[in-house]
Amino acid sequence: MIQDIEPKIFYNTFAKKAIESQSKVILFFGRNVLIRQDKDNTLHLPAYGELSVENDAAVLEETKKYQYIFSIDNEEYFLKKSFGKEERFGTIEGYHWENISKLRQIESKEICFAVMNAFQLYIWYRDNYFCGRCGKKLIHSDTQRMLFCPECQNMVFPKVAPAVIVGVVHQDKILMSKYADREYKKYALLAGFVEFGETAEQTVQREVFEEVGLKVKHIKYYKSQPWGIDSNLLLGYFAELDGSGEITLDRQELAVAEWFDREKMPAHNDGISLTREMMGFFEEKEAFLKWYNQNI
Ligand SMILES: [Zn+2]
């Protein structure tokens, strides 16, 4: 999956660091990121030194506008503090603006992962410029990843929205669907946000019933995945059909939902998404059944 970047290590501990010429800069404009793609498909983010700044005084002023966000191994990543409004930047030779939802290159998984994580923070900083309680300007904490209000002491932490992905299985078949009106047009497993006051397992039951009218049992947790583009923490579950397999489609949400035989899956593990890894795991009949039938 996209977060599996071993042997590289992702360090998300909050720290105050000054930007240096070799530091990587992640610039967003809307849902686009400034990136370079080489002929071998590898992706590269600009180093701070590649951005042109005119004189020494300007450089010093400029460096104050960048915020350290995380590291991967020794590589430090910074965000431009264009908070409160969207800033249109120019481009650097060799780089272009790319829609973040298209960044799925397995060759540069750690860059895609870094961009997704940075986007989650970018959105959080951008959308929390003012205090939601009293309307005053929020201040960036120096000691933790938190924004606080000097007027009413409101504290605002990064948003992480839990959502479930569900592989509904019935003997040698698994249920797959396509969304009605989203950018992602390929087959996916059922998915939905965790609502207030419910457990993730209750979300699984509710979402499956709402989207396809089916009941499930033996709900078993598989793995999770951070998905920064939508500020999600995805929780993957497999569940077994309970009763009739006749689908009643929620046409507002889904364009199609079908049962697929393990031998005839329309999509496989792409090494990026939890959904696709779950499809790939279901394909491995022996390993899947051994895991699923344990402690159930
Ligand atoms: Zn306030």
Tell me: the pLDDT tens digits for 152-182? 999 999 999 999 999 999 999 999 999 887 7
What confidence tens digit (pLDDT) does each residue in 3-58 have?
A: 999 999 999 999 999 999 999 999 998 899 999 999 998 999 999 988 877 667 77
Mean pLDDT over each residue of the chain, to the nearest integer: 92
Q: What per-residue confidence (pLDDT) applies to 183? A: 67
pLDDT band at 83 (very low <50, low <70, confident <90, very high): low
Architecture of domain 10-127: Alpha-Beta Complex (3.90)
Residue 84 has pLDDT above 60, yes or no: no
What is the 130 CA–ligand 1 centroid distance (Å)? 8
Share of the chain above pLDDT 70, in %: 95
Smallest Cα–Cα separation from 24: which of 89, 72, 76, 85? Answer: 76
What is the 235 CA–ligand 1 centroid distance (Å)? 33
Q: What per-residue confidence (pLDDT) applies to 185? A: 74
The predicted model scores a pTM of 0.91
Name the residue ranges covered by the structural domains of the chain: 10-127, 161-292
What is the 147 CA–ligand 1 centroid distance (Å)? 10
> Helix 274-283 and helix 285-292: axis angle, to 10°?
100
What confidence tens digit (pLDDT) does each residue in 265-288 have?
A: 998 999 999 999 999 999 999 999
Smallest Cα–Cα separation from 225: which of 176, 281, 266, 164? Answer: 164
φ and ψ of 68, to 5 deg = -65, 135
Whether 178 and 165 have beta carbons less than 8 Å apart is answered as no
pLDDT band at 85 (very low <50, low <70, confident <90, very high): low
Write the CATH number of the domain with boundaries 161-292: 3.90.79.10
What is the 137 CA–ligand 1 centroid distance (Å)? 8
Q: What per-residue confidence (pLDDT) applies to 80? A: 87
What is the 209 CA–ligand 1 centroid distance (Å)? 41
Q: Please state, in angstroms and rounded to a whole number, the distance separating the CA atoms of residues 173 and 223.
A: 20
Length of the chain: 296
